[in-house]
Amino acid sequence: MSVIVGSGDFTYRVEEGWGKLPEGWSLGDVGGVGVDRQDRLYVFNRGGHPMVIFDRDGNFLKSWGEDTFERPHAIYMAPDDTVWCVDDGDHTVRKCTLDGEVLFTLGTPHQPAPEFSGQPFNRPTHIAFAPEGDFYVADGYGNARVHKYTADGEHILSWGEYGTDPGQFNIVHNICCDSAGLVYVSDRENHRVQVFDGDGTFVEQWNNLHRACGLTMHNPDDPIFFVGELGPFLAINRSYPNLGPRVSVVDKHGKLLARLGGPHAGTEPGTFIAPHTAAVDSHGDLYVGEVSFSAWIPVFQTQRPAFVRSLQKFTKVKAS
DSSP letters spanning 14-41: E-TT--BPPTT-----EEEEEE-TT--E
Do 167 and 200 contact (CB within 8 A), yes or no? yes
**Alpha carbons 175 and 136: distance in angstroms, whole number:** 8
Structural domains in the chain (count):
1
Alpha-helix runs per DSSP H in the chain:
299-302
pLDDT of residue 99: 98
30-35 and 41-45 strand pairing = antiparallel
Spatial strand order of the sheet with 286-290 comes to 4-7, 10-14, 311-316, 286-290, 275-280
Do 223 and 252 contact (CB within 8 A), yes or no? yes
- The closest of 188, 242, 196 to 215, measured between CA atoms, is 188
Amino acid identity at 231:
G
pLDDT of residue 293: 66
CATH code where residue 160 lies:
2.120.10.30
- The closest of 93, 84, 92, 97 to 110, measured between CA atoms, is 92
**Alpha carbons 99 and 117: distance in angstroms, whole number:** 35
**Alpha carbons 238 and 304: distance in angstroms, whole number:** 15
pLDDT of residue 294: 60
Do 153 and 145 contact (CB within 8 A), yes or no? no
- The closest of 29, 49, 11, 25 to 275, measured between CA atoms, is 29
- The closest of 275, 277, 249, 246 to 262, measured between CA atoms, is 246
pLDDT of residue 267: 87
pLDDT of residue 320: 62
pTM: 0.95
Do 75 and 98 contact (CB within 8 A), yes or no? no
Residues constituting the chain: 320
**Alpha carbons 309 and 191: distance in angstroms, whole number:** 25
**Alpha carbons 244 and 296: distance in angstroms, whole number:** 13
pLDDT of residue 307: 52
pLDDT of residue 306: 47
pLDDT of residue 239: 86
pLDDT of residue 309: 83
pLDDT of residue 319: 72
Mean pLDDT of successive 10-residue stretches along the chain, which has 320 residues: 93 96 94 98 97 98 97 97 98 98 97 96 98 96 98 96 98 98 98 98 96 96 97 86 95 97 91 96 97 60 58 90
pLDDT of residue 28: 92
Do 165 and 159 contact (CB within 8 A), yes or no? no
**Domain extent for 284:** 4-316
**Alpha carbons 65 and 99: distance in angstroms, whole number:** 9
pLDDT of residue 235: 82
